[in-house]
A and B are shown apart, each in its own frame.
Chain A
Amino acid sequence: MAAPAEDGGGWRDIGAYLKSAGFRFAALFAFLFLAAILGFALMLWWGTAGTLSRQLDDAIRADAIGLQEAWRGGGAASVKEAIGERLAVDIDDHAIYLLMDGAGNRVAGNLDRWPGVAEIPGSWSAEKVRRDGVEVPARLHRVPLDQDHRLLVGRDATDRERLRALLSEALLWSFAVAVAFALAGAAALRRALADRLRAASATAGAIAAGDLSRRVPLSTQRDEFDQLGESMNAMLDRIDQLMVGIKGVSDSIAHDLRTPIARARMRLENALLTAPDEESLRTAMETTVSDLDHISRVFQALLRIAEAEAGARRAAFAPFDLAAVLTDAAEVYGALAEERGQHLETSWPEKLTMIGDRDMVLQAVANLLDNAVKFTPEGGTIRLSASLPARGKREIMVRDEGPGLAPEDRARAGERFFRADPSRALPGSGLGLSLVKAVAALHGGELRLEDGEPGAPRPGLQARLMLSSRA
């Protein structure tokens, strides 16, 4: 017992217990339960003992008003007669009266002397009076008359006090039982909460310890805890998927960069050892710089994709004319297509303003056109168009006359470093469509890849870049 007290562990445990959600929910439940019981008790008291008190005071007040009228009608003699008559027919023997003159003599009534506290005219008081030698509670009202006379009207309050005592006792016992139920209910609630959360907690602990395969077991109740478990499992599946993706990307980076780096190293080494003259050495170095530029471009593309996916560039969104962007891209790639004997057809409205990242959109369009030029045979046609399919939406379409993409390749076309089999022989890094996809997501849109001419032997690829003007 001494050890926890010395290092404060015991107090820490108690503190943690008091701060726990289970305890707080249980305390809230107990508080609400007891508050409801207290409210019920107050209403019961007000409806019984309170009503009886009000009735008693009403009877005294009515009696006092009657005697005041008698006073105004005939003075002390009239009041004396009225008191005598009222006492004579008081079968319940509850009435109390006392009329005294200025000399302190009792004129009428059934009280032997004036009680000490009822001195202020109009005052009400709860007193004790003696009946048959026993003190009983009484409710007294000092009725204002004149300077020389004092009148006291009251009732024996024994019945009211008896009811109050009975009610108080019953309510006290009820409250004690309610407290016991509240505490038991709170303990059960806390235990139930702890039981339901234990599975999720154990799963989180196992995952923190490194076992990423664990999932929260779900019950058949389909309640909020199961919904939480489902959300956690969905989150874990997503994390797992991302981890696999990151691993794939790491592997791809290692694989795709190892070859050019190894080639560059070998080239430099050979040149160093075997170059016959300065010119050969210079040529080898220029080729190596070109290889390194390619590596640099791959890294740059990866960084841009990451930047687009993170949404960091959303802060730089500004209005721009998409038609101007498409014109710029068409100018560059139109010339390139012409060099390769291809034809670029363009079509878009005169004005296509939107809000977004101009540079990123230009890069995405350039990547789509680059692919189209790469895969369209000589003499083929590339189509670049844009439209406004709906309010706030922009659609850019690039269609080529290349071999197209198999459906299973289309699903993977946005993955980093993915290259379909027909394109492996062509230059490229497999990051172009990844960036287009990331730019679409950055602008609240998507990239759709379809056959340009479904059913044709060379269907071509139609890439539709859907953008939202206000992402």
Chain B
Amino acid sequence: MPWVLALLVFLPATAVAQQSAPRLISDGPEYCAELSGRFAALEIDAPAHLRVLADEGRQLCAEGQTRIGIAKLRRALKEAQRGE
């Protein structure tokens, strides 16, 4: 009865896959790019220090430090929106 053994091995793996928690995806390079695009729309009117902050964020994302990069971009966006 090899199919029974296969089922026994397969079932727990499926169960584990189903039980694994959903993942937060706002911490990857794609999201860096999305935030960078959002800031680009405000960049012309933004003060210099916010542009510097956003550039630092982009740079960090490019270097693979996406969480810190995202945090800087968010701060730049928030300040820029407040300025508007």
Contacts and interface: CB of A to CB of B under 8 A. Distances in A.
A54 interface: no
Nearest to B66: A132
B7 interface: no
Interface in A86-144: 87-91, 93, 96, 98, 110-116, 127-132, 135
B21 A89 contact: no
B15 to A, nearest CB: 12
A110 B26 contact: yes
Interface string A41-74: 0000000000000000000000000000000000
B24 A91 contact: no
A110 B24 contact: yes
Contacts of A116: 18
Contact of B22 (A88, A91, A115): A115
9 contacts: A91-B74, A93-B71, A98-B22, A110-B26, A111-B25, A128-B21, A129-B22, A129-B24, A130-B24
A66 to B, nearest CB: 16
Contacts of A111: 22-25
A89 B82 CA distance: 11
A30 to B, nearest CB: 44
Nearest to B79: A89
Given A111-B25, A115-B21, 11 more contacts: A88-B38, A89-B74, A93-B70, A93-B71, A98-B22, A111-B23, A111-B24, A129-B21, A130-B23, A130-B24, A135-B21
Nearest to B24: A131
Contact of B78 (A84, A89, A127): A89
Given A87-B26, A111-B25, A130 B20 contact: yes
B59 interface: no
Contacts of A130: 20-24
Nearest to A127: B21
B77 interface: yes
A180 B77 CA distance: 56
Interface residues of A, number: 23
Nearest to A156: B24
Interface string B1-38: 00000000000000000101111111100010011001
Contacts of B25: 110-112
Contacts of B38: 84, 88
A194 to B, nearest CB: 60
Given A91-B71, A93-B71, A116-B18, A129 B23 contact: yes
A98 B26 CA distance: 11
B14 to A, nearest CB: 13
A114 B77 contact: no
A191 B31 CA distance: 71
Interface string A394-432: 000000000000000000000000000000000000000
Nearest to A133: B23
B67 to A, nearest CB: 7
A131 B66 CA distance: 13
A90 to B, nearest CB: 6
Contacts of B20: 130
B58 to A, nearest CB: 14
Contact of A96 (B24, B31, B34): B24
A116 B19 CA distance: 8
Contacts of A87: 26
A263 B20 CA distance: 119
Nearest to B70: A93
**6 closest cross-chain pairs (CB), A and B:** A110-B26, A128-B21, A89-B78, A130-B23, A112-B23, A131-B24
A127 to B, nearest CB: 7
A129 B21 CA distance: 5
